[in-house]
């Protein structure tokens, strides 16, 4: 089996650095992404094909363009990257998550960031970490996540209405 080549390793680290996901050791976001794509913890252990898969994923996250240079102006409330989840999408997702938390029947000990990561893993099949759950999501995945969370809220509303004994017409039904 063909091993990773030095140009691939350099490219993985360069794109990771441009995306701001490199750090110290094997616990940084770049290594977590590599592990999610290949199942291997070390970039040096990748095969040529696995390295190509990691590079493709990183390029998808990068949006096919180089990351913008840092500006001297005040950072946005939510960080975003080209081709990724926008600041507006992130605000909407967090608003929906807080609405879901508000409707919990009993207190939930799980942190909201961890709950969001679980939803992302279940619905989008993408690993996420609570520190930056949107790091590896694309713009369209952000839209999908918003719709999923809206569906969760609608389901909760239906359950609440059923437990109250109130029958409300379903808005999705067409008159027959």
**Residue 23 dihedral angles phi and psi, to the nearest 5°:** -155, -155
Instruction: Return the pLDDT at 118.
Output: 93
> If the chain, 176 residues long, is cut into consecutive pieces of 10 residues, what is the mean pLDDT of each piece?
90 86 72 85 90 89 60 56 86 92 83 91 91 89 94 90 69 56
Distances (CA, A) of 161 to 104, 131, 166, 172: 15, 35, 5, 16
Instruction: Return the pLDDT at 167.
Output: 59
51: helix, strand or coil: helix
Distances (CA, A) of 160 to 64, 100, 106, 116, 173: 45, 13, 14, 22, 19
Instruction: Return the pLDDT at 26.
Output: 59
170: helix, strand or coil: coil
Instruction: Return the pLDDT at 32.
Output: 82
Instruction: Return the pLDDT at 78.
Output: 64
Measured between alpha carbons, how far is 133 from 19 in angstroms, rounded to an integer?
Answer: 14
Instruction: Return the pLDDT at 106.
Output: 80
Instruction: Return the pLDDT at 129.
Output: 87
Instruction: Return the pLDDT at 28.
Output: 77
Whether the CA torsion 130, 160, 89, 83 is positive or negative: it is positive
Strand partners, 138: 84
Instruction: Return the pLDDT at 122.
Output: 94
Instruction: Return the pLDDT at 77.
Output: 58
């Amino acid at each position: 089996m063909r091993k990773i080549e030095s140009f691939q390793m350099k490219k993985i680290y360069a794109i990771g650095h441009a995306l701001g996901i490199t750090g110290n050791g094997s616990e940084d976001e770049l290594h977590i992404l590599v592990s999610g794509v290949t199942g291997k913890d070390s970039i040096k252990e990748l095969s040529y094909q696995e390295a190509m898969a990691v590079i493709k994923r990183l390029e998808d996250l990068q949006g096919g363009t180089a990351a913008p240079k840092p500006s001297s102006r005040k950072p946005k409330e939510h960080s975003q990257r080209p081709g990724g989840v926008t600041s507006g999408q992130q605000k909407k997702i967090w608003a929906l998550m807080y609405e879901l938390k508000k409707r919990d029947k009993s207190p939930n000990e799980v942190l909201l960031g961890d709950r969001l990561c679980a939803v992302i893993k279940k619905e989008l099949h993408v690993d996420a970490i609570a520190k930056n759950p949107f790091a590896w999501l694309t713009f369209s995945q952000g839209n999908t996540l918003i719709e999923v969370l809206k569906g969760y809220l609608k389901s909760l509303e239906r359950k609440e209405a059923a437990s109250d004994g109130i029958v409300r017409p379903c808005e999705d039904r067409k008159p027959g």
